[in-house]
Amino acid sequence: MFIKLQNVLDQGKLKNISNVLSQASFVDGKLSAGSAAKKVKSNLELDQKSQQAAYLDELVISSLSQNIIFRNATLPHKVSQPFFARYEKGMSYGDHIDDPVMGNLPGRYRTDVAVTIFLSEPDDYEGGELVVNTSFGQTSTKLPAGDAVCYPASSLHHVSEVTKGVRLVAVLWLQSLVRDPAKRELLYELSLAREKMLTKSPDAEETAQIDHTYTNLVRMWSEV
């Protein structure tokens, strides 16, 4: 499932993030890559052990967790620390599939869903599109700053070469309560109908039926 999220970060938070990143130190992105990804990865990343990273992590995760579409589409169980990536002219990230399991013991998590939050406006750089191979073909994405996209971490994807300017993004992964992507998609579609019915006819019998069905399917399919 490929889902776009609007306004995950408002203008105030984006300005705050930009100010912090402009004064931060970045390291070679290959340091966080697996053996296969190292061969195709060319970018810079904020040192995750820095004070700036700890501050920005909380800001980004709290904003993302408040987005109801994100919650309903991904059903997050464990969420990774974000990576803040910088792509300058000539940098790219070739075709790769994300590692299936990330993190250190005892906090290991399965990567079901990848999330990219765009921190630069599309006009700030040329190239740098996120290209994801889906069952319907390739999807090329370059969103306004503050918007995000969720996609299967198991999908083949790449970041096109930046030919001008600087591309800044925050990237993270999550383990969903529901491992099966087909089941997650069904639950997301059902949640859309459920939300509308709870708003328009909260006391209707069919609203209660849909609400109970959704709740019990999540209970049936969750892995915790």
| Average pLDDT per consecutive 10 residues, the chain (224 residues; last block may be shorter) | 96 96 92 85 93 92 96 97 96 96 90 98 97 91 98 96 98 97 97 96 97 97 92
Domain count, the chain: 2
119 vs 84: CA distance, rounded Å: 9
Q: Which helix (H) or strand (E) holds 17?
A: helix 11-22
- Torsion, CA 11, CA 153, CA 97, CA 38, rounded to 10: 50
**Residue 188's pLDDT is what?**
98
Residues 114 and 204 placed together within one structural domain of the fold: no
Q: Which helix (H) or strand (E) holds 162?
A: strand 162-165
**Residue 6's pLDDT is what?**
97
Residues 188 and 171 placed together within one structural domain of the fold: no
Q: How many helices (H) and strands (E) does the chain have?
A: 5, 17
Residues 166 and 199 placed together within one structural domain of the fold: no
Residues 86 and 139 placed together within one structural domain of the fold: yes
**Residue 33's pLDDT is what?**
81
Domain extent for 163: 3-176
Residues 127 and 212 placed together within one structural domain of the fold: no
Q: How far is CA 93 from CA 75, 133, 167, 170, in A?
A: 28, 14, 12, 14
102 vs 110: CA distance, rounded Å: 7
**Residue 113's pLDDT is what?**
98
> What's 144's DSSP letter?
P
**Residue 48's pLDDT is what?**
86
Orientation angle between helical segments 205-221 and 181-200, nearest 10 degrees = 150
CATH code, 129: 2.60.120.620
**Residue 34's pLDDT is what?**
78
**Residue 13's pLDDT is what?**
96
Residues 164 and 188 placed together within one structural domain of the fold: no
Residues 165 and 206 placed together within one structural domain of the fold: no
* pTM for the predicted model, two decimal places: 0.94
140 vs 4: CA distance, rounded Å: 12
